[in-house]
Amino acid sequence: MTAGPTPRRIALISVHTSPLAQPGTGDAGGMNVYVWQTATRLARRGVEVEIFTRATSSTDQPVVDAAPGVTVRNVVAGPFDGLDKRDLPSQLCAFSANVLRAEAAQEPGHYDLIHSHYWLSGQVGWLARDRWGVPLIHTAHTLAAVKNASLADGDAAEPMVRVVGEQQVVDEADRLIANTATEVAELTDMYGADPSRIDVVVPGADLDRYSPGDRTASRAELGLAPDDVLVTFVGRIQPLKAPDVLVAAMAPLLKADATGRLRVMVVGGPSGSGLAQPTALIDLARDLGVADRIDFLPPQPPERLVHVYRASDVVAVPSYSESFGLVAIEAQACGIPVIAARVGGLGVAVQDGRTGVLVDGHGIDEWTRRLSELLADPARRADMGRAAAVHASQFSWEHTTDALMASYSRAMSAFGRHAQTDSGRFGLRRWRNRARMMV
């Protein structure tokens, strides 16, 4: 049970991508999964959740009853098509205005708190917090300073407008949600966040769906050969996620494989800076002479994605930056060992040497060596797979929701102590910031 006050209704803000979108397409990814899974579980606990997201199609209904207790509001802000995520700051005014109008049509005190996801949403949440007089909880999901410190070769740095925008949200949010202790350190060291306002809430996996299963049956479901040895990548096709590192590292192993059974499967679609060259990964496979040994699949819905995991011998997560790494947990929940870059939250998601392998850096030769060792030892992979399923069982969305509810309670309690400041309309921190600006 959560001690202290609990919210009746939450305004959840996810500006740039809808939780109803298919992960792996466009800007949809792990954040979509996080928002949807936590929203539905909050609703099961009696909390009404209203999700504000930007409409991206003229066919989007203004209000969608997405699940019992979960409403998605598709906010019109800018053109439906043709806007990249980096263009969206220009539409925050329109988005914010429509969010405020939606609340103004309700009785006062309609929302008990705001939870914003990603910095764009935090900007909107900051404004709404001051207008509605309720606490703002913010989850960054990714941080510009962290991404810019570990860019892939040729990838574009995050713009200064994002760095500044993130800093503003970090300064203003009543509580910050971090995925791991590593992210807490990044928030405090790179953004000067107050550690007393940060809660660690570890993401999870849908353990009812992702579980060990029949590999042969899953391969038959996907049209794959039953005796292949399969290394799989799941995620958005962009430099940040480093699928090119996996393809390049696997190329010499594929060429040396005389059995013809070793294969790579890539599941996902171009995203972000990867949209500039949407066929780059396919071109790389062809240039390396291994295109015939790599299967490219579009993003898969959850009921198919579970078969992708179960069909695999190893799942690779070679990202340059990951605040956590949901793919790693989902794969392990299916009993599949993971080879991942030792970055961000992947050190928490994967137990090195027990449930998978963590690789330092992104050197192709090192990735080839570590992959070769893992692929050459079926018994070791089997042991890791069994341990992986046990490890992943600790990461459920129910545990995540427990921690979120505790954070919400802390935010509401602290905010309530300052409710009379400025007639209850503005938080104490805003007055402190205003005073600093006047000095």
417 is in an annotated binding site: no
- pLDDT score at 139: 98
162 is in an annotated binding site: yes
- pLDDT score at 25: 63
309 is in an annotated binding site: yes
28 is in an annotated binding site: yes
Segment 11-44, tens digit of pLDDT: 999 998 888 887 766 676 789 999 999 999 999 9
312 is in an annotated binding site: yes
Segment 169-226, tens digit of pLDDT: 999 999 999 999 999 999 999 999 999 999 999 999 999 999 999 999 999 999 999 9
Return d(Cα 208, Cα 67) in angstroms, integer: 17
27 is in an annotated binding site: yes
Q: Which residue, among 294, 331, 326, has the nearest Cα to 310 in the 3D structure?
A: 331
- Residue 436 tokens read as 């600093």
Q: Are residues 405 and 316 in the same domain?
A: no
Average confidence (pLDDT) over 124-147: 96
Contacts of 247 (CB under 8 A, 6+ apart): 264, 266, 281, 284, 285, 288, 290, 294
CATH number, domain with residue 236: 3.40.50.2000
110 is in an annotated binding site: no
Q: Are residues 113 and 261 in the same domain?
A: no
User: If you search the block for the tokens 């209203």, which residue do you land on?
Assistant: 50
Segment 312-329, tens digit of pLDDT: 999 999 999 998 999 999
236 is in an annotated binding site: yes
Q: Are residues 153 and 220 in the same domain?
A: no
147 is in an annotated binding site: no
Per-residue b or e along 305-339, where b marks 16 or more CB atoms closer than 10 Å to that residue's CB? bbbbbbbbbbbbbbbbbbbbbbbbbbbbbbbbbbb
Domain assignment of residue 436, yes or no: no
Q: Are residues 315 and 372 in the same domain?
A: yes
Return d(Cα 166, Cα 158) in angstroms, integer: 11
- pLDDT score at 272: 53
321 is in an annotated binding site: no
Q: Are the beta carbons of 234 and 305 closer than 8 angstroms?
A: yes
Q: Are residues 174 and 222 in the same domain?
A: no
The reported pTM is 0.90
Characterize the bridge pairing of strands 70-75 and 63-67: antiparallel
Domain count, the chain: 2
Domain assignment of residue 423, yes or no: no
Domain assignment of residue 374, yes or no: yes
368-373-377-378 Cα dihedral, nearest 10 degrees: -30
142 is in an annotated binding site: yes
pLDDT above 80 for 436:
no
Segment 56-104, tens digit of pLDDT: 888 999 999 999 999 999 999 988 877 777 888 889 999 999 999 999 9
Domain assignment of residue 435, yes or no: no
23 is in an annotated binding site: yes
Integer-rounded Cα Rg, in Å, for the chain is 22
Domain assignment of residue 28, yes or no: yes
Contacts of 223 (CB under 8 A, 6+ apart): none
What residue numbers bound the domain in which 222 lies?
Answer: 215-393
Q: Are residues 170 and 81 in the same domain?
A: yes
Q: What is the DSSP string of 235-267?
A: S-BSGGG-HHHHHHHHHHHHHH-SSS-EEEEEE
Average confidence (pLDDT) over 253-268: 95
129 is in an annotated binding site: no
310 is in an annotated binding site: yes
- pLDDT score at 138: 98
Q: Are residues 237 and 225 in the same domain?
A: yes
User: If you search the block for the tokens 């400041």, which residue do you land on?
Assistant: 421
Q: Exposed, middle or buried by CB within 10 Å (0-12, 13-18, 19+), for 146?
A: buried
Segment 103-117, tens digit of pLDDT: 999 998 999 999 999
User: Among the listed ranges 95-99, 239-243, 434-438, which one has the minimum average pLDDT value?
Assistant: 434-438
Q: Are residues 263 and 328 in the same domain?
A: yes
Average confidence (pLDDT) over 380-390: 98
User: Among the listed ranges 11-25, 136-150, 225-239, 359-373, which one has the minimum average pLDDT value?
Assistant: 11-25
Q: Are residues 181 and 306 in the same domain?
A: no
Domain assignment of residue 290, yes or no: yes
Domain assignment of residue 430, yes or no: no
Domain assignment of residue 377, yes or no: yes
DSSP E strands in 8-112: the ranges are: 9-13, 48-54, 63-67, 70-75
Q: Are residues 192 and 277 in the same domain?
A: no
Q: Are residues 322 and 306 in the same domain?
A: yes
Q: Are residues 378 and 357 in the same domain?
A: yes
- Residue 100 tokens read as 């405020």
118 is in an annotated binding site: yes
Query: 3-state DSSP call for residue 107?
Result: coil
Q: What are phi and psi of 10, to 5 degrees?
A: -120, 135
